[in-house]
Amino acid sequence: MDIDIGINKKDRAQIAGGLSRLLADSYTLYLMTHNFHWNVSGPMFRSLHLMFEEQYTELAMAVDTIAERIRSLGFPAPGTYAEFAKLTSLKEPKGVPAADEMIRQLVKGQEAVIKTARGLLPLVDAADDEPSADLLTQRMQVHEKTAWMLRSLLDGK
């Protein structure tokens, strides 16, 4: 069945492609955050363990919302590790870094997701795709706040 939501198919395809990159970045950040939750150690263990759990839980909900927007635009959402690996701008961590390095890597991951979302805004604005613009704005707000909170843990280090 044809989709007629006021956005032409070419624009919907480009937006879905951008959202697929956002989904891949978000899922990769989810995995990284969950990994660090499991493996963090040191004097800040309890606070970081709980903080990382809050962050990966929020990301788990976010990936579903992003995937559903892609589907609403009429395209399949990527959903395999192989697809995510091709689409993501994030690099996987090597080994189990120290807690401070985990925080630094998560700040970079949060910032990468923000850049991916921000890069898609001109396209969704040009297509008058308000639902995608709203989703992107909400994601940027969450990631900017999370990056700030993580950076605050490194003040003076």
CA distance 121 to 127: 10
CA distance 97 to 73: 39
The pLDDT > 90 percentage for the chain reads 94
Residues 6+ apart with CB under 8 A from 151: 107
Specify the pLDDT at position 155: 85
Inside any domain, residue 15:
yes
Inside any domain, residue 64:
yes
- Whole-model pTM: value is 0.95
Inside any domain, residue 2:
no
10, 127 contact by CB (below 8 A): no
Q: How many domains does the chain have?
A: 1
Specify the pLDDT at position 4: 85
CATH number of the domain encompassing residue 126 = 1.20.1260.10
pLDDT in tens, the chain (157 residues): 688 899 999 999 999 999 999 999 999 999 999 999 999 999 999 999 999 999 999 999 999 999 999 999 999 999 999 999 999 999 988 899 999 999 999 999 999 999 999 999 999 999 999 999 999 999 999 999 999 999 999 986 6
Specify the pLDDT at position 37: 97
34, 139 contact by CB (below 8 A): no
User: Which tokens in the block code for residue 89?
Assistant: 């701008």
Inside any domain, residue 135:
yes
Inside any domain, residue 111:
yes
Expressed as residue numbers, the domain containing 82 is 9-153
**Residue 46 amino acid letter:** R
CA distance 145 to 139: 10
